[in-house]
Every structure is written in C-alpha cells, then in structure tokens.
C-alpha cells in the first residue's frame, strides 16, 4: 500500500495569505476611489470657473482677463495652495483655456 506523502496545508499560512490578499485589494480599492474623487473635484472646479467666465461674457460682453477678475467680481474661490490653475486668454471674445491640476503634497 502506498502512503499518502502529501501534507495538509497549514491553516495559519492560508489565513495569512488570505488576509494579505484582502488588505492589498482594499488598499487598491481605496486608492482608485481617492483618484476618482480627486478627478471629479478638479472637474467641478473647472466647470465652476467656466460658468463664471461665460456669465461674465454674457453680462459684460467679454471674457475675464484673469482668474483674479473672476475672484473679485464673480465669487470664484481660488486655492493656490492645493491646486495649480491654468487660465489662458487669446482674445476677449474667445473662450479662455481653463485647466486645474491638484498639486502633489510634499509631505
């Protein structure tokens, strides 16, 4: 008769492996959620700046020359500690280029 030389898996090793997989999956999910949240946050900022610029064009007949103008006259809040803003005007009657990028924490 042949002896079964196969040993049973250690339950502790299985538990550690499954726990590691669970933690890695959770961290991956949290990072994806945070990335999506940051992306939607910057998109909302861009939309609010665009709406204010269009409102300025509708009321005054020209697009604002810079973000400071929107800040002072249309209530836009600019957080330069957290975001980098690109606002480029080609002409007062052409819609400006607007982009917002979240700054990387240096901590």
Kindly indicate the confidence band of residue 5, based on its pLDDT and cuts at 50, 70 and 90: low
Give the residue among 66, 63, 95, 61 at the shortest CA–CA distance from 80: 66
Q: Containing H/E element for 107? A: none
SS3 content of the chain, % helix, strand, coil (to 5): 55, 10, 35
Q: Please report the pLDDT score of residue 3 as a whole number.
A: 63
Give the residue among 69, 102, 67 at the shortest CA–CA distance from 88: 67
pTM above 0.85, yes or no: no
Better pLDDT: 41 or 105: 41
């Amino acid at each position: 008769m042949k002896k079964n030389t196969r040993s049973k898996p250690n339950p502790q090793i299985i538990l550690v492996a499954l726990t590691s997989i669970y933690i890695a999956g959770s961290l991956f999910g949290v990072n994806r959620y945070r990335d999506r949240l940051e992306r939607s946050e910057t998109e909302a900022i861009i939309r609010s700046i665009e709406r204010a610029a269009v409102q300025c064009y509708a009321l005054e007949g020209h697009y604002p020359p810079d973000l400071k103008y929107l800040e002072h006259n249309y209530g836009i809040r600019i957080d330069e500690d957290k975001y980098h803003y690109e606002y480029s005007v080609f002409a007062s009657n052409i819609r400006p280029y607007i982009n917002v990028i979240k700054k990387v924490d240096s901590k």
